[in-house]
Structure formats: C-alpha cells, structure tokens
Amino acid sequence: MQLRGGTGIFTGRLPFVWFTNQPTNSGTLQNTVEITNAAQLAGLTFSSDPWFHLNNQTLFPPTPGTKAPGSIAVVDRNFKMPQVWRTNLAFDVKLPWNMVATFEGIYSKSINDVIQYNANQTVSDSTFQGPDQRERFFSSSRRINKDISNAMVLTNTKNNGYTYSLTAQLSREFKGGFYGFLAYTYTGAKDLTANPGSAASSAWASNPAVENQNNPGLSYSQFAVPHRVVGGLSYQIEYAKHLKTTVSVFYQGSSQGRLDYIYSNDMNGDGNAADLMYIPKDASEIIFADLKNSSGAVIATAAEQNTAFWSYVEQDKYLSVNKGKYAERYGVIMPWLGRWDVKIMQDVFTYFGKKNPTKHSLQVSLDILNIGNLINSDWGVYQKQTLGSYDITLLKSAGTTAGGVPTYQMNYLSIDKASGKPNFPTSTYTPVMSTMSTWGAQIGIRYTF
C-alpha cells in the first residue's frame, strides 16, 4: 500500500479585474460629459478656464467631488488576497488479479474569499405578506445616498465556504496489451458568491439571493458538479517488426452543471433582477395576474397560467420535491450527460543508425468524438434550460395585492400565431441542437524521432 497526502495554505487567483474598477469609479477623479444636442454643441467654446462653460451652464463641477458620481467602487482597507487551506490524503492498494485501487479525498476551506457588497444599499424595514415574507424595498428608499446608484466595496468573506471531493478508482493492466480503468468522483462545495461578473456592480447584482445581494447566504457553488464518472479501455499491439496499432475507448459522464430558479424581473424592489423563487406548496400560495398583450387584451387568464405552472412543477425534479421552500442558489442539478470517444492510432516505425539507433515513427490517428451520437441521435446530446439564459426564469413579478401579497405572471416561449395564445413551457430542459451535441471525427498525422 502507498500512502500520500499534504496540507497547506495556498493563495488563489488575484482579482485584478475588480481592482481596475477603482480608478474609473472613484467619484473624485473624473466626470463624464456627453453632448448630444446640436444646438448646445454649436455654443461650445474653449478658453483658459479649465472648466468648460456652455451657454452660461457649468458642464463640470468647479470643485472635485462636489458632483455626485453615478457609482463608486473602493477596496476595503483590510482586504486580503484570496486564500484557502487545502488538505488531501490518498492511498493506493494493490489487489489480486493485478488490479490497483486508489482512494483520494481533498478538502479546501476558504480563508479569505472575495466578495462584493453595496455600501449604498439600505436595510429594508418592510416585508411582503403571505407565504413569501422576504424583505421588500421601495425605489424611493433603497439607496442611502439618492444621487449614487451603487457604492461597491471589494472585501473578504469571513471563512465562509468550502469544497471537498472524494474519488475512487480501479485500474488493471491485462496481459496481451490491454489496460483499463474506471473512476468515480463526488464533489460538494458551498460559497457565498461565484462573483458572476467582470465589474464590481455586476458581480454583486447578478448573485442570486432570497433577501438581497448584501446578504446572499451560504449555498451551492455554481461550479461544483456532484457526480462524475470517467473510464477507459485501451489495447496496443506491435507486429511485423515495424507496425503498432492502438485502439482506445474513453467514457466521461456527469451532470451538465448547476442552475437555480429566479424571477425574471426585480421581485423585491432592491434594484436587482436576481431574486430566488419561492416554490409554493399548493395553489393557495400563489396568485396569478392575467397576461395581456400590448393592446391590453387578455391572452392568458390567471387560471390558465395556474394550470400551466403546476403542470410544469410536477414534471420538474427540483420543484416537485421542494414545495413550500425558497429555491436554493444553484440548487438545481442539470441532467446527466455521458459521452463515448474512440481513438485509433496506427504507427509505422523503423530505426536509423548503427551505434545509437534512433526510432523514427509515422503515426496516423483517427478520433471519433461522441461516437454514441453516431449510433443513436438521442445519445450524447447536451441539454439547456427551456426558459432563461443563465438561470431558469419561470415566473415574473406582477406587483402585489392591496394587502402586500406578491402576484405573478408566467413567462412563455412564444405566441401561437393562429390563436394568439402564449406557448408555456412543458419541460425544464430542451436539447441543444448544434455541433456540440453531434458526433465528430478528426484525422491526425504525426512524425516523431
């Protein structure tokens, strides 16, 4: 048996992209003026005065900082670069029949993870009524400083978040040139945010939450696929003194990622359209409002939407077992995708030189990718959510009742041209019909010496 492992503190990738937000959103170094009116442009003159004046109107503030910027981005004075404490332990065991079993566990604990928060976001003093009693914001009072949209602060989480993975692998080298292996990995991970954005404000605003983005709560990591299986079988033979043939088959299977259910618009009024959905336990916990077209005609009644909604819920694996709860951030595990690849390599080789002969090889290879799709067009096909681009957006907020109970409308796929009625989704996922789902082949030539 062979035992191996280690532990240590490691520094991760530096968030340089968010550091660049500081000079462009400082609030004191610059102001932007954009003139789109031709009459104003005609009156623009230049002078020794460092501040431009146009028709007796000051375009730039005479004193830096006297004009409120659109947004601010700063770094916490105690900010630390991201770090994790990582420990791994593994052992290999030789088994009968020339087999080797490998077991490995890895655990990582976040020490200084990166997170954004908006210092200009107020604390709500109101809640919705009914089964969903999350915080409620009003546009007139959701900002501390009414003249600034966001005041983003780059800071660290307080030891929130972790990742672990457990792997078991079995491999065997057979007689006659055969080799095979099979491995399974289970991964679990939770964090406060995946920082889904390239700018401070987008990384903060796009993080799904029940309450608000300043209080996202610990939930599943966007990038942790729980189950993964990989395997391979290879056969190699040399013959006729100058020929070698290798045939390999590989398999990889896993879920296609994680998703969550959010409303397609700003449900709680905090200014961000990233509110996790409340999953009603029955029809008494959700109120629908009639859907109307641009002319004001009803195209789907509340009752029709209610029927379509519950039909969708019952076919959805996540919603159907989580009724009466808030949807979890990235709590939805996408369908399993298994793909088979085949590789065939033919080598022609010889040796040149008498004292120190050198091996020269010409190799021709054929890769058949996703060969299962060549056999059956339903195999190896990617799936995507039927509604939404990055999250599943089944519902949108339609306001509240007089008593403060939320009302909703169901999002639809298209409008039927014949009836004028909306086509509501009936399944969570739909196949991705593109080259990424089809089989493919490639030929390679390589000369080695």
Residue 100: which H helix or E strand, with range? strand 99-110
Side chain identity at residue 98, one-letter code: N
Q: For residue 26, what pLDDT band results from cuts at 50, 70 and 90?
A: confident
Query: pLDDT exceeding 70 applies to what percent of the chain?
Result: 91
Query: pLDDT exceeding 90 applies to what percent of the chain?
Result: 69
Highest mean predicted confidence (pLDDT) among 7-21, 29-43, 189-203, 308-322: 308-322
| Top-confidence residue, 4 or 38 | 4
**What does the pLDDT average to over 255-266?**
96
Q: For residue 68, what pLDDT band results from cuts at 50, 70 and 90?
A: low
3-state secondary structure of 406: strand
The DSSP string of 322-360 is: -TTEEPPTT-EEPPEEEEEEEEEEEEEEEEE-SSS-EEE
Q: How far apart are CA 324 and CA 180, in angstroms?
A: 47
**What does the pLDDT average to over 354-362?**
86
pLDDT at 24: 75
Q: How far apart are CA 216 and CA 275, in angstroms?
A: 10
Mean pLDDT for all residues in the chain: 89
Would you call 186 exposed, middle or buried from its count of C-beta atoms within 10 A (0-12, 13-18, 19+)? middle
User: Is there a contact between 136 and 269 (Cβ–Cβ < 8 Å)?
Assistant: yes
**What does the pLDDT average to over 396-403?**
94
Please name the residue ranges forming H helices in 56-178.
none
Each residue's pLDDT tens digit, 226-241:
999 999 999 999 999 8
> Measured at the alpha carbon of residue 52, what is the angle toward residues 51 and 57, in degrees to the nearest 5?
110
| Position 107 pLDDT exceeds 70 | yes
| Position 30 pLDDT exceeds 80 | no
* Long-range CB contact pairs, 374-382, < 8 A, 24+: 374/439, 379/338, 380/337, 380/338, 380/339, 380/340, 380/437, 380/439, 381/337, 381/431, 381/432, 381/437, 382/256, 382/337, 382/431, 382/432, 382/436, 382/437
Name 265's Cβ contacts closer than 8 Å, sequence gap at least 6: 273, 396, 397
> Measured at the alpha carbon of residue 228, what is the angle toward residues 225 and 234, in degrees to the nearest 5?
150
